[in-house]
A = this chain, B = another copy of it.
Amino acid sequence: MSDSPLTHFDSAGQAHMVDVGAKAESSRLARAAGSISMQAETLALIRDGSAKKGDVLGVARIAAIQAAKRTGELIPLCHPIALTRVSVEFTIDADAPVVHCEVTAECSGRTGVEMEALTAATVGLLTIYDMCKAVDRGMRIDNVRLLEKMGGKSGHWQAP
């Protein structure tokens, strides 16, 4: 369908939303992750907040889930997808100091959900930035990547 190995372009080099109509519906899953590094004091505020006053991670989790549902609006050539599951896990590494975010997305459809998982992870991390930027403008998001992908013709893929 395309001379380019980049399937989002047709043979004339023009962007299109790739035809997935002939693909079979199958169960698809993707896991993505990323991290945000910060000052130790900022991390302490996040950890304390989760306990009682100011649940940064609770808000970021909702933002991540909602962003997953809007991936098709944000990423121009993504197909709209009816997600059947999104879960978001935050882990605090006080030594780094870093908050890790891991997202699992699933659907039963004709195309994968990698972008949904990656978008959710990123927006979750951006929301942490937003909520803590008053005390720490130098936070940094790193290591946003796909961990695993299942379903579809290309089968199972795991990050090395």
Contact present for B122 and A56 (CB under 8 Å): no
Cα of A114 to Cα of B132 in the assembled complex, Å: 12
Contact present for B6 and A49 (CB under 8 Å): yes
Identical copies of this chain, number: 6
In the complex, 19 of the A-B residue pairs with CB atoms within 8 angstroms, ordered by the A residue number, are: A5-B134, A6-B131, A8-B130, A9-B53, A10-B87, A13-B49, A13-B53, A15-B59, A19-B85, A19-B106, A21-B27, A65-B77, A76-B127, A79-B83, A79-B84, A108-B110, A115-B129, A119-B123, A122-B122
Asked, given contacts A139-B145, A146-B137, whether A75 binds B9 with beta carbons under 8 Å apart, the answer is no
**Chain A 107-147 residues near chain B, CB threshold 8 A:** 107-110, 114-115, 118-119, 122-123, 125-127, 129-135, 137-146
Contact present for B13 and A52 (CB under 8 Å): yes
Cross-chain contact of A49 among B4, B85, B119 (Cβ < 8 A): B4
What residue in chain B is nearest A12 (Cβ atoms)?
Answer: B53
| Cβ-based interface call for A81 (8 A) | yes
Cross-chain contact of A9 among B49, B145, B160 (Cβ < 8 A): B49
Contact present for B80 and A82 (CB under 8 Å): yes
